[in-house]
Amino acid sequence: MAIDVTMPALSPTMEVGTLAKWHVKPGQRVKSGDIIAEIETDKATMEVEAVDEGTVIELAVPEGLENVPVGTVILRLAGEGESSQPPPRPSERPAPSPSLEQGRAAALPSPLPLREGLGEGASAASAPAPAGNRIIASPLARRIAELQGVDLATVSGSGPRGRIVRADVEAAVGKPVASAAPALVAPAPKPAQAEPVEARAPAPAAPVTSDIPHSVEKLGNVRKVIARRLTEAKQSIPHIYLTLDVELDALLKLRGELNKALEPRGIKVSVNDLVIKALALGLRQVPKCNVSFAGDHLLVYDRADISVAVAAPSGLITPIITGADGKAVSQIAAEMKALAEKARAGKLQPHEYQGGTASLSNLGMFGIKQFEAVINPPQAMILAVGTGEKRAVVKGDALAIATVMTITGSFDHRAIDGADGAALMSAVKALIENPLGLVA
């Protein structure tokens, strides 16, 4: 029996992937551990290894195809003693439609089970093959046939693997049937005057067009996920922002001494590395901020894993310094350098960017004085770090000049009260202004 290899879920948020490159071809022998393909996920481009051994029968998904659903068969292998010839195609399967969505449905039959309550487009690609005389039809097609008195046994299916879809039943009736669809997917609508505003679905946005000379840049998977997740975060998380000014002179002096001592080891500590450590220790001092909101309960974390925003060519990604509260500053610096390089090359592994208990975003290197960052769910806080600059400060009864940096914490107000957020900000400020605590 042929072995089906499916599109893997390579990150928690991955729903679809792009088959970026094949490393095998039909007739090639594959053993466990061989690299078979490169998959572009919502986070990075990753190599996929074979789990089973066999001979490649068929590349079920063409190289470069986008939006392949997780669980879709992408490769078929023949086991020991089996034929390596491609399986026969059902004669009734139609040629792929010029439509992109129909083309995907025909080329990518999904092995996922049929989900009740979904409409035509959502369920057609996930139907099983016909078995014996059993009639395979979408729920919508069955509903229309029932209302119109059509015997499905007399209808020829044009969907994937001979599945009967809405268009087939309408062809049998001899006209389009529009009234049956709402009966499957939603109850009858309430009177307009009784419908609450919140229940009304927003009208679909009109395509953006322009007479101004322009080019069109297609969004990659990473940018699509960034857009979706940040929109959800701003719409669903009540953000509260707390800002403090922090003096940097003592930290800059310590950083110079550390780098001089670490030079023989080839390690260079940045201000960002020290702030990562300060945030991690601050979260341990104020554990009420090291949490995630989870409906009717909170997740309270026992260590501080800091997600650090890195600008990569494909979009923003947040590699994680795991257990930053327990690591030396030199170790944080070495790990951060390696993770940033992998992030920019699109080579991060899932365990290197999945999780995190809080985030840090630093735009100081661009001269940004202050900004408010969007929380990265399911985390409950993110620290935005601005540039260090010379400012006038009051010391005692006199004015003085100091290097000052503005930091802003964004907190999920469902999980973190303002007083607790303020306590964390004060703890981070104290650690930065008295930096020996970062290396003690």
Select which of 23, 214, 351, 413 is catalytic.
413
Q: Would you call 297 a catalytic residue per the annotation? A: no
Q: By CB neighbour count within 10 A (0-12 exposed, 13-18 middle, 19+ buried), where does 25 fall? A: exposed
- The CA-atom distances, in angstroms, between 435 and each of 22, 252, 279, 306 are 50, 9, 12, 19
Judge if the upstream peptide bond of residue 160 is cis by omega within 30 degrees of 0. Answer: no
Q: What is the DSSP string of 64-75?
A: T---EETT-EEE
Tokens 């922002």 belong to 241
Residue type, 342: K
Q: Residue 68, CB half-sphere, CA atoms under 13 Å: how many? A: 28
What letter would DSSP give residue 88? P
Cα 232 from Cα 307, distance rounded (Å)? 19
- The CA-atom distances, in angstroms, between 346 and each of 39, 193, 195, 273, 383 are 11, 52, 47, 22, 24
Q: What is the DSSP string of 346-396?
A: T---GGGTS--SEEEEE-GGGT-----PPP-TT-SEEEEEEEEEEEEEEET
Which token pair is 270?
A: 């940045």
Cα 404 from Cα 238, distance rounded (Å)? 29
Q: What is the DSSP string of 2-14?
A: PEEEE----STT-
The residues annotated as belonging to the active site are 413
